[in-house]
Structure 1
Amino acid sequence: MTDRLEQSKALANEARLSILEWLSDPDAHFSDQVTGKPSEIGVCVTLLTDKLGMAQPTVSRHLELLRRAGFLTVNKIGRWSFFQRDEAAVVEYKEWINEHL
C-alpha cells in the first residue's frame, strides 16, 4: 500500500508541484531536449534544474522525494537520469483524495 502521508508531504512544495505539472506534458515544456523525446524517455535532470533555477542537488532531492512517493519513475540511460510522471499513481492519489476529503 502506498504511504498517503508521504505522498501528501511530497506535494507540499511549489517546486515539486511545478515538476509534476511540467511532466504532465513534457514535450511542450522540454522541447529543447536533444537526447530523446521527453514523453518517451523522460526529462533530463539538467533541464529540470535549468527550468527551476535551482542547484542540481536541490532538484535531485525534490525528484527523489517525488519518486519515493510514487509519482515519478526514473529511466537511466548511460550516466543520465530521465524522469517521467507515473500517471497511474497520480490518478490513484487523486481518487484517494476524492474519497477521503
Structure 2
Amino acid sequence: MTDSAQLVEVFKALANPVRLQLLQWLREPERHFPEINEVGVCVSHIQAKIGLAQSTVSAYLASLERAGLVRSTRVGKWTHYQRDEQRISQLIDVLGHTL
C-alpha cells in the first residue's frame, strides 16, 4: 500500500467521532476501562462504555484495525484491543513526509 493510500485509510477511520473516541480511550486504557490485561481491553468492556450494539463496536474497531491503528488478540471467545503505538508512530512520520 502506498503512503497516500495508508493515510487515506487512516483519515477515513478517524473521520468518525466514535472511532476517534475509541482510539483516545485506548491511549490510556487503565483510566477508561475497569479491566484490562496484557493483550488489551475486551470488546465487551468497550461496548459497555460506549453504549452501542456489539456489532457496531466490532465494525468500528475493525475499521481502526484495517487502518493500522489498533491490534486485536483473541482470548477464548473474546477479542481484546489495544493501540498499535509503533504503527501510529510510523503513520505520523508518513504524514509528516507526505504533507
Q: Which residue of 1 aligns with 2:86?
A: 88
Q: Structure 2: how far apart are the matches of 1:96 and 1:16?
A: 21
Q: Which residue of 1 aligns with 2:56?
A: 58
Q: Structure 1: how far apart are the matches of 2:75 and 2:50?
A: 22
1:43-82 paired onto structure 2 within 5 Å: 43-82=41-80
Q: Structure 1: how far apart are the matches of 2:12 and 2:22?
A: 15
Structure 2, gaps ≥5 residues long: none
Q: Which residue of 1 aligns with 2:40?
A: 42
Percentage identity across paired residues of the two chains = 42
Aligned residue pairs, count = 96
CA offsets 1:30-59 (integer angstroms, 9 cap, x no match): 1x22xxx44x22001111111111111110
2:70–2:84 contact (8 Å) kept in structure 1: yes
2:39–2:80 contact (8 Å) kept in structure 1: yes
Q: Structure 1: how far apart are the matches of 2:74 and 2:89?
A: 24
**Are 1:10 and 2:8 counterparts?**
no
Letter in 2 for 1:64: A
Q: Structure 2: how far apart are the matches of 1:42 and 1:51?
A: 15
DSSP-derived class of the 1:73 partner? strand
Structure 1, gaps ≥5 residues long: none
Post-superposition shift, 1:99? Answer: 2.7
Post-superposition shift, 1:96? Answer: 2.1
TM-score, structure 1 normalization: 0.86
Q: Structure 2: how far apart are the matches of 1:25 and 1:88?
A: 16
TM-score, structure 2 normalization: 0.87
Q: Structure 2: how far apart are the matches of 1:73 and 1:90?
A: 11
